[in-house]
Amino acid sequence: MSDKNLDDMICYFEKLLGERYVSTNTFEKIKNTIDPFPYKTTKEVLPYVITLPETKEQVSQILKYANEEGIPVFVRGSGSQLAGSSRPHTSGIVINTRRMNKAQINEDYGYFECEPGVRCGEMVDMLGEKGYFLPVWPGSRKIASMGGVISNNTSAHIIDASIGKPADYVLGVEVVLPTGEIIETGTKGLRKPAGTDLTKLFVGGDGLLGVIVKIRMRLVPLFKEAYSIAVFDNLDDIAKSVQRMYREKRPAPLFMEFMSKEASEIGFKVKGMEPPPGPVLLSMSVGQTQEEADYKMAEVLKSIVKENPISASLITDNDEWHKLLSAREVIAPYVMQLTKSQLTTSEVVANLDSVVEAMRESEEFHKGIPVLEEVNNVLYGHIGGLTIHAAYLFPPDWEDEKLREGVDAVFRKEAELNVKYETCGGEWGQFSKRTPFFIKRYGETSYELMKKIKVSFDPNNILNPGILEGYR
């Protein structure tokens, strides 16, 4: 872009948003370009400008401008997506949603509405104060934006078979299309549309088709909770107990997390607890009454104990449960601190029949891949959702090229396994680093169809380019 055009654009945005909310500061540019991947950003991809709109009308004006001028636009929540979609591959305009942070709980109608920049954790707290639950639970909830999680349709740690995915609760969205028009989808009622519902294209739309500027979700009353812990000799038996739980028709728990022996040693140590003698399985069942939650947990435990755990028991002390759950959640941040490395995680998703095999293959994920054999790894996951995270710790002193090789190796292996199990990632979207997987898994025809859908919403391919193409 020529200096003159850049000046004109910045001038236009400053008039639209106010000078404070338009930045060309290099530090801001870097901050709005990086993501959890370990390699650096480069000068060539730094954005021209960071914009911080407050209203949907401002978002619309930015997109209209960009569409007319053919300038790429990158939407930014907190930039924590784990498959590469928040890292632009070329320069453009960043729309950072941070200032779009209003939320309202409307108990009379039975829903809440929020703007995309509201942090997940803020929404959890707001809802919690009024006795409601947010059916979204990523490890990153303190920072992840509602726009980001809804674009990904991730329930994260929450097991799909228990209460579903965010899309099941989203009653409607407001969206600014890449051409600048503003549309509303869905309903203000508590009954979601039957038949065509454009909401479905945007919730879990990988940020390809429009900028979500308002989200409306059904209110879910807080649950009563019941907890259990089981310690096993080996990971195979954990996988078998999950298989057994489903096959014996037990009610799926809300959370069912596992940690390998090595991972649990780390988590338990950080939380000041005696390390367990083997891999750990933590489960939480929920119900409208305590009796219901206790019943469901007891049912799940009936399956678990049949797979010969070293120990298995209910947890009745809330504090103990929260300590155990946080022992699981601190693993990734702690190992990164400890080893001064950055973690790249795979998301191997088994089908029910292959969960034991998937666990074994995840333990050996790095075997035969030199760049992964060189580094430390940890194994944990949301096993109730049949998700296994084989995560790799890349040292900061590696050259960028080698770090990229390591990250790409993780996604290649993940793709190989998920193609084999005929599954797909359930947490971080389907494109960017996963585009080759999408093509392998669903075929060229499906991919071409996706491109046609994209063009009909975004004829000049200005919104989040590079995600669908897998350039990121």
Ligand X SMILES: Cc1cc2nc3c(=O)[nH]c(=O)nc-3n(C[C@H](O)[C@H](O)[C@H](O)COP(=O)(O)OP(=O)(O)OC[C@H]3O[C@@H](n4cnc5c(N)ncnc54)[C@H](O)[C@@H]3O)c2cc1C
Q: Which residues in this chain contact ligand X in the complex, by CB under 6 A?
A: 36, 75-82, 85-86, 97, 116, 138-140, 144-145, 147-149, 151-152, 154, 156-157, 207, 211-212, 332, 427-428, 464, 467
Task: Please work out, in degrees rounded to the nearest 5, the angle formed at the alpha carbon of residue 87 by the alpha carbons of 84 and 89.
Answer: 105
Which residue's CB is nearer to ligand X, number 61 or number 154? 154
Nearest residue to ligand X, scored by beta-carbon proximity = 148
Which residue's CB is nearer to ligand X, number 80 or number 162? 80
Q: How far is the CB of 118 from ligand X (least distance, A)?
A: 10
Q: How far is the CB of 377 from ligand X (least distance, A)?
A: 16
Q: How far is the CB of 136 from ligand X (least distance, A)?
A: 8
C-beta atoms surrounding 48 within 10 Å: 17
Q: How far is the CB of 366 from ligand X (least distance, A)?
A: 21
Which residue's CB is nearer to ligand X, number 209 or number 312? 209
Which residue's CB is nearer to ligand X, number 21 or number 301? 21
Q: How far is the CB of 140 from ligand X (least distance, A)?
A: 3
Q: How far is the CB of 6 from ligand X (least distance, A)?
A: 22
Q: How far is the CB of 463 from ligand X (least distance, A)?
A: 8
Q: How far is the CB of 448 from ligand X (least distance, A)?
A: 21
Which residue's CB is nearer to ligand X, number 146 or number 304? 146
Using CA atoms, how far apart are residues 36 and 28, in angstroms rounded to an integer?
A: 16
Residues contacting residue 420 through CB under 8 Å, at least 6 positions apart = 354
Which residue's CB is nearer to ligand X, number 89 or number 413? 89
Longest alpha-carbon distance in the chain? 72
Using CA atoms, how far apart are residues 48 and 69, in angstroms rounded to an integer?
A: 14
Using CA atoms, how far apart are residues 406 and 41, in angstroms rounded to an integer?
A: 16
Which residue's CB is nearer to ligand X, number 119 or number 244? 119
Q: How far is the CB of 338 from ligand X (least distance, A)?
A: 15
Which residue's CB is nearer to ligand X, number 211 or number 315? 211
**Residue 7: burial class (beta carbons within 10 Å; 0-12, 13-18, 19+):** exposed
C-beta atoms surrounding 72 within 10 Å: 21
Q: How far is the CB of 382 from ligand X (least distance, A)?
A: 7
Per the document, the length of the chain is 472
Which residue's CB is nearer to ligand X, number 82 or number 410? 82
Q: How far is the CB of 90 from ligand X (least distance, A)?
A: 14
Which residue's CB is nearer to ligand X, number 157 or number 433? 157
Which residue's CB is nearer to ligand X, number 58 or number 152? 152
